[in-house]
Amino acid sequence: MVYRVTAKTEARRVNTRQGILDATRELVLSGGFAGVSMSAVALRAGVATGTLYRHFHSKGELCTELFRDASRDEVEQVRRSTRGEGNAAERLAQTTRLFAHRAFRGRHLAYALIAEPLDPVLEQERLDFRRAYAEVFCSLLEEGVASGDFAPLDPRIASTALVGLLAESLVGPLAPSSVLSQKDQQHLIDEICRFALRAAGCKRIPQ
């Protein structure tokens, strides 16, 4: 007799898999990918280690899927912001601020996605992640050049520079190493935003 997967069984499988990913994300939020181990994930998710391995054959496979899910979420947040209200300059300002605020609120996750030393497979995922960010900013810059909100520039080059600005000033090795006060955080965000707008040749800096 051929075994058929029932809707209830499939729902249980999906819920277990999502619970594993949620547990992994919690570990990354508290200590980066370096803090992830299969035993720690199983304990956090409340499943047997054998069950964990039925869903993910290795830590690398598990971390790769989490990296994709988390980076997809972050890129989508930025994409929505670039398509919000206001002209191109206003949307560049609000998107830059959004990126910065999310980086400060989830410092461990931001560091894990952008700067933490990773295995080669995850480094490739990171490259794809940064390219996705650049493509989102490229579309906004193209729109701004066409509307006259920005000076004539090459949006593809400028978008990669913008991604580098945000990554290095907020998360990378050159970012502030200590926890900033609310006032200092705001100052940093304001300066990054102003720099991004000036670099884009914005004719009027939105407040």
Taking the chain (207 residues) in consecutive chunks of 10 residues, what is each chunk's mean pLDDT? 69 93 94 92 95 94 94 95 95 96 90 91 92 97 96 96 95 84 93 95 76
The 8-class DSSP code of residue 59 comes to: H
Whose CA is closest to 139, among 165, 111, 160, 159?
159
- Residue 28's identity, in one-letter code, is V
pLDDT of 4 reads 64
Q: Which fold has domain 1-57?
A: Arc Repressor Mutant, subunit A (1.10.10)
Task: Tell me the CATH number for domain 64-199.
Answer: 1.10.357.10
Provide the pLDDT for residue 3.
55
- Quick one: pLDDT at residue 74? 94
Q: CA dist 30 to 25, 103, 105, Å? A: 9, 14, 12
Please name the residue that has the structure tokens 């993910």.
56
Q: What integer pLDDT is reported at residue 103 of this predicted model?
A: 92
Q: What is the reported pLDDT for 5? A: 65
pLDDT of 17 reads 95
Is residue 63 within 8 Å of 46, Cβ to Cβ?
Answer: no
How do the domains of the chain map onto residue ranges? 1-57, 64-199
Contacting residues for 121 by C-beta, under 8 A, at least 6 apart: 60, 64
pLDDT value of residue 178: 74
Closest CA to 196 of 78, 80, 117, 65: 78
- CB-CB contact of 36 with 21 (8 Å): no
